[in-house]
Structure 1
Amino acid sequence: MLSTACIVGLVSSSVAAIVNAADPSCGLQYSNMNTEGDVVGTVLYPASPEVCCTNCTANPDCQFFVTDDGGWRHIEPKCRLVSKAQTMVDYLRGSAGKNTVVISGREIPAWGKCGDQNGFKLCSQGFYCQPWDSNYFQCIQKPSKCDVYTNVDLYGNDLKRIQGIKPGECCDECDKTMGCLGYTYVNDDPRGTQCYLKNSVDGWVKKIGVHSGVMPYLPPWSKCGDSTGFRPCTDDFYCQPWDWSNYQCIKRPRCYVETNIDYYGNDIKKVTGIGPGECCEECGKTPGCDSYTYVNDDPTGTQCYLKSSSAGRTKKIGAVSGYVTPGMK
């Protein structure tokens, strides 16, 4: 067993950590959340949540850590120790297997100043860091119906723009608007506050001074959208387009899957009449196949296009695309 002194010696001058719900004493956990920011250290081996917590607690500059368990990528677990954030990236953006943990006692309390254009601290439970202008970010109450991300812009895919409303009201407008999957809110605009409702959350980019909200994950087997837009599903499920009017949360296959995406070109062969999970398995057992595109609603039957590359990634309503995970080959 390693001593605390030995563990601390494993920290390098790189990035930060992740957390374990089994040990809530360390602090507040954001599951499937990769928080990017100013790194004050990286714990490489061993990177258990307890080790990450010990190292972050011992570093007065560390407010939180982000753990990465490696997941299906089969990389060694590690964690990054972070002093302040620049942006937060959720499960939709490939953060499965990562968690952000705020050290107990180092959260910014409700209504306190949490940052500015140079970075922000994470707030106590039930609050998020709202950018009012370039010099003043404040911990305010989270809206009840949306998951909120500071310094994130859901670029493009606008349904409509609403001026002159408050941050929480922007979430409410999305919730009651058909086809709205998220929004971006800008407080510091010379025209007045701007609320941009979105029919997709694909355009996720870092933008200082705004925040974005996403409608929460949907439960297994529920309807998740149609050709006008879709909402994300809970862990291990994804939104499968059956036809233009019916998208459903179904079990995720062994492949990593993207909805309304086509990996254009690079076809190896086409397989007709199989299900979406079978398309993933066909790719896994076909030499040279590393990805696929599946179309359920085709007049000639379901179509599974096996690919040698996912390089031709483009948006296509009604398609799903995926690529095989390392353990499948």
Structure 2
Amino acid sequence: MHGVFLATSALAAFTPRQLSSGINCPGNPICPRWEGCVATSTSGSVYRMHCFNDFNGPIISVTQAALFVDCADSCAYHEGCQAFNHKDGFCYLLGENIGSSRTVTNGNAGVQIKTATPPQPSIGATTCSIPVVCPMEDGCIHSVGDKTYAVRCNYDYYGGDIAYKSTPNLSECADACTDTPGCVKVTWTSGSCYLKNDKTTTLYHSWTDSAYILELSPP
């Protein structure tokens, strides 16, 4: 009897729990313990976690995301995203057709159960501090000579790299762009400044900030 009890207890420990609706996920929920928890993005969209699941619908974008909640933010700020697969430090965003669910061993999925409209800053309403303070100053303007840059906190202009600089902040990254022919956008993260042309794709990244010359259409 004692051996049967131990076996039953061990089985219970590894059986996924179906959590009730509304229980919030921690920043990096561990499966199967947090099966069914919900993650709320900074914009207010809500995503339910599906442990060890992957949806096979068409991927509309890929971003880096260390945490499940970062993946939820990426989806919330990407137009048309309805769900995501999170595995190996990457977030695979899915559109309206999320496809069928399949069991995997190295990833989890999130499906949107509540939508929200991300607040859009009033571009140019304020002048940036030097250095820029993100995310509080999202949408502020930074002027360098005859160039004026609009700042977008938590966004990455992917692709279009024409040069690389090491700068201590986004403000000096924009300054470097002004001195570089062909540069119209910058992306800055952890001391790395990427100078870019206009051939970029806009991605949401919670640890990356960018700026573009204000004369351009908002990317």
Greater relative contact order structure (CA < 8 Å, 6+ sep): 2
Structure 1-normalised TM-score?
0.27
Structure 2-normalised TM-score?
0.39
Write 1 or 2 for the structure with the bigger share of strand.
1
